[in-house]
């Protein structure tokens, strides 16, 4: 089903791209836009992960130079029955993370140094589980191709003025068409980005909570991420705003309103959904525990079954000592995640 939705979305973005081309250059402009869109779709399919990671100067890490961070992703991927993705580190003070890649077999996750330095082990596990959920749901291809096409559409709108507005250029709408393209193109691209991000974030939150085993870990991380993102400027994201919807939290601003012009759902709404999920998980655990409680007259204790992982307990995530980030990842700065 996700593959069908992905194909439909890519078709819609391509049609939008062609429509803007028609508004600027008539039928000739539409055909040129179609050729460009098809070439971009093909290129993005095979190189989407490399493009985005290069934009953010992400450095691949492994068990040798980032043992805890890599170990967390490895353990979570195993719990989710996913192939081990490539693991990247971005030297950036803003705490954030994203996933990319065309499929689970060719996927990558990336976290900023700010995320690893400011979050607890459990919170990092919640965030990376959310990103693995995007990979499992095959959202990464859609999100990355949409980022590429949205950037191209916005650029096309900015270039519209230079194409002129006369009918001699086969523009059926004249200057009005050019003006409309300049205004409508970036807005339309932005709305498409918002739609895919907002609808898929809730789903990834829920699946991520299931993967890490405790919704409260991700809920706690989201609260910290939203607060820090509004105070820390992500220069790389500001230069590439079309990629904003890929991150777990909007890297461009601290916007809190859950409205049409937000690239992400309201963080408080996401936290409430996760806490409701935690309560649902608690209910059967409490009932099962009560059913196995030892009666007062019983001479032998009865061991209660395990519930979901404790807030600060083990969840199968390996724990190693404090190590360095690695030469390329964080300039040798010490942190709790390797």
Active site residues: 131
**H or E, element range at 207:** helix 174-212
Element (H, E) at 232: none
By the 8 A CB rule, do 324 and 334 touch? yes
Q: What is the H or E stretch that residue 117 is in?
A: helix 113-118
283: Cβ–Cβ under 8 A, 6 or more apart, which residues?
none
Any idea which residue has 């083990």 for tokens? 314
User: Residue 266 and residue 273: Cα distance in Å, rounded?
Assistant: 11
The CA-atom distances, in angstroms, between 286 and each of 1, 65, 291, 305, 306 are: 36, 42, 9, 10, 10
Q: What length is written for the chain?
A: 338
Cβ burial, residue 8 (10 Å; 0-12/13-18/19+)? exposed
Q: Are 112 and 58 in contact (CB under 8 A)?
A: no
Report the C-alpha gap between 209 and 127 in whole angstroms: 9
Query: Which element (helix H / strand E) includes 90?
Result: strand 86-90
């Amino acid at each position: 089903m996700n593959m069908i939705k992905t194909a439909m979305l890519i078709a819609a973005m391509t049609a939008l791209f062609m429509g803007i081309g028609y508004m600027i250059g008539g039928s000739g402009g539409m055909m040129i836009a179609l050729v460009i869109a098809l070439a971009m779709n093909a290129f993005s399919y095979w190189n989407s992960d490399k493009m985005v990671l290069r934009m953010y100067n992400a450095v691949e890490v492994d068990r040798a130079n980032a043992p805890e961070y890599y170990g967390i992703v490895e353990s979570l991927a195993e719990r989710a029955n996913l192939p081990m993705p490539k693991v990247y580190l971005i030297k950036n003070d803003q705490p954030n993370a994203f996933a990319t890649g065309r499929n689970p077999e060719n996927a990558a996750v990336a976290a900023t140094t700010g995320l690893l330095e400011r979050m607890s082990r459990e919170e990092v596990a919640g965030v990376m589980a959310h990103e693995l959920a995007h990979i499992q749901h095959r959202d990464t291809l859609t999100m990355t191709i949409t980022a590429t096409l949205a950037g191209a559409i916005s650029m096309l709108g900015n270039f519209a003025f230079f194409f002129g507005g006369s009918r001699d250029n086969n523009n059926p709408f004249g200057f009005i068409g050019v003006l409309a393209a300049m205004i409508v193109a970036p807005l339309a691209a932005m709305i498409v980005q918002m739609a895919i991000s907002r609808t898929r974030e809730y789903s990834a939150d829920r699946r991520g909570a299931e993967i890490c085993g405790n919704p409260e870990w991700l809920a706690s991380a989201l609260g910290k991420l939203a607060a820090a993102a509004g105070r820390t400027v992500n220069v790389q994201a500001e230069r590439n705003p079309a990629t904003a919807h890929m991150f777990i939290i909007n890297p461009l601003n601290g916007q809190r309103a859950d409205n049409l012009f937000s690239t992400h759902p309201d963080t408080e709404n996401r936290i409430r959904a996760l806490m409701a999920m935690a309560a649902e998980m608690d209910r059967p655990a409490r009932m099962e525990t009560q059913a196995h409680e030892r009666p007062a007259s019983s001479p032998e204790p009865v061991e209660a079954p395990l519930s979901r992982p404790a807030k600060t307990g083990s969840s199968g995530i390996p724990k190693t000592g404090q190590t360095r980030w690695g030469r390329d990842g964080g300039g040798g700065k010490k942190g709790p995640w390797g």
